[in-house]
Amino acid sequence: MRLSEFWELMDHIFGEAYSRTLARELALDDLDSRTAAKSLEDGIDPRDVWHAICNQMQVPVQRRDGGDRERIVPPPRY
């Protein structure tokens, strides 16, 4: 997943303003309590950050593609 795809999905699922707040403020259990922004800065793959956010926010697997059935979201690695 490219970083641009990550942000598109974030904006679609959570809204543009809230997605930025989540990325800065939400400590992700799956990523050692780092925020999404810090995880991306540290070089964590955007798909792993995406799945960590979805897990924490309880986004169902069937919605993780942002409603675009053509989009292929790689599965989590963990």
Q: How far apart are CA 22 and CA 39, in angstroms?
A: 13
Q: What pLDDT does 78 receive? A: 57
Indicate the helix (H) or strand (E) that contains 51: helix 46-57
Can you give the residue range of the structural domain that contains 35? Answer: 3-63
Q: Is 23 within a domain? A: yes
> pLDDT for 36-51, tens place per residue?
999 999 999 999 999 9
The model carries a pTM of 0.86
What's the domain count of the chain?
1
Within 10 Å of residue 5's Cβ, how many Cβ atoms? Answer: 16
Q: Is 13 within a domain? A: yes
Q: Is 59 within a domain? A: yes
Q: How far apart are CA 29 and CA 18, in angstroms?
A: 19
Q: Is 68 within a domain? A: no
Q: How far apart are CA 19 and CA 3, in angstroms?
A: 14
Residue-level pLDDT, tens digit, the chain, 78 residues? 899 999 999 999 999 999 999 999 999 999 999 999 999 999 999 999 999 999 999 999 888 887 676 666 766 675
